[in-house]
Amino acid sequence: MNKKKIVPSFDGKSFYMNGEPFKIISGDIHYFRIHQADWDKRLDLAVDFGLNTVQTYAPWSLHEPKENVYDFEGMLDLELFLQKCDEHGLKVLFRPSPYICSEFDLGGLPAWLLNKDGLKIRTHEEKYMAAVRRYYNNLIPRFLPYLSTNGGPIIAVAVENEYGNYATDREYIAKTARLLREGGVDVPLYNTEGSESAKYFAYGGVEGGFTGLNYRALGGVADKYASIKESTLKNMPLFIGEFWAGRSSHCGEPFSRRNPKETSDGYKEALELGANVNFYMFSGGTNFAFMGGALNGFSYTPREGAKPRYMPFVTSYDVDALVYEDGSVGEKYYLCREELDKYLGRAPRPRIPFPHPVQKMSVSLTEKADFFENIDALTAKTVESVYPLKMEDMGQSYGLVMYTQKADTVFSGLTVTGVKDRATVFVNGEYTASFMRERGVSSDKYEVKNDGGNGRIKIDGSGKGYTFDVIAENLGRICFGCEMMGEKKGIEYIVNDLRVLVNCTNRSIPLDDISGLKWKDNDPKCFKRRMPVFLKGSFDAKAGVDTYVYTKEFGHGYVWINGFNLGRYDVAGPQFTLYVPGALLKEKDNEIVVLDLSPTSDTATVELIDKHILDGDAEEMA
- Dihedral of CA 235/49/153/107: which sign? positive
Measured torsion, CA atoms of residues 243, 246, 251, 255, in degrees rounded to the nearest 10: 160
Query: CB neighbours of 195 closer than 8 A, spacing ≥ 6?
Result: 213, 214, 215, 224, 228
Q: Do domains 361-369+513-609 and 381-509 have the same CATH topology?
A: yes
Q: Are strands 454-458 and 414-416 parallel, antiparallel or unpaired?
A: antiparallel
- At 365-401, the pLDDT tens digits run 999 999 999 999 999 999 999 999 999 999 999 999 9
For residue 526, CA distances in Å to 22, 121, 363, 557, 603 come to: 67, 49, 20, 20, 12
For residue 220, CA distances in Å to 224, 262, 267 come to: 6, 11, 10
For residue 585, the Cα-to-chain-centroid distance in whole angstroms is: 23
Residue type, 110: P
Q: Which residues of the chain have pLDDT under 50?
A: 622
Q: Which CATH number fits domain 8-344: 2.30.30.280, 3.20.20.80, 3.90.950.10, 3.50.50.60?
A: 3.20.20.80
Are 596 and 336 within 8 A, CB to CB? no
* φ/ψ of residue 89, rounded to 5: 75, 25
CATH code 2.60.120.260 for 381-509: yes
Closest CA to 503 of 611, 399, 357, 384: 384
- At 14-29, the pLDDT tens digits run 999 999 999 999 999 9
pLDDT score recorded for residue 156: 98
Are 155 and 94 within 8 A, CB to CB? no
Integer Cα distance of 32 and 78 in angstroms:
8
Integer Cα distance of 326 and 5 in angstroms:
35
Up-side HSE of residue 598: CA atoms within 13 Å toward CB? 28
Domain chopping of the chain, boundaries: 8-344, 361-369+513-609, 381-509
Q: For residues 98-115, b (16+ Cβ closer than 10 Å) or e, as one string?
A: bbbbbbbbbbbbbbbbbb
pLDDT score recorded for residue 459: 83
Integer Cα distance of 422 and 434 in angstroms:
7
Integer Cα distance of 48 and 174 in angstroms:
38
pLDDT score recorded for residue 622: 46
Are 341 and 349 within 8 A, CB to CB? yes
Integer Cα distance of 140 and 526 in angstroms:
55
Q: Are strands 53-57 and 91-95 parallel, antiparallel or unpaired?
A: parallel
Residue type, 157: V
Compute the radius of gyration of the chain from its Cα atoms.
Answer: 25
For residue 76, the Cα-to-chain-centroid distance in whole angstroms is: 14
Helix (H, G, I), strand (E, B) or coil at 30: coil
* φ/ψ of residue 153, rounded to 5: -90, -15
Query: CB neighbours of 364 closer than 8 A, spacing ≥ 6?
Result: 537, 604, 605
* φ/ψ of residue 213, rounded to 5: -90, 145
For residue 520, CA distances in Å to 296, 489, 523 come to: 42, 32, 9
Which superfamily is assigned to 361-369+513-609 in CATH? Galactose-binding domain-like (2.60.120.260)
* φ/ψ of residue 344, rounded to 5: -85, 0
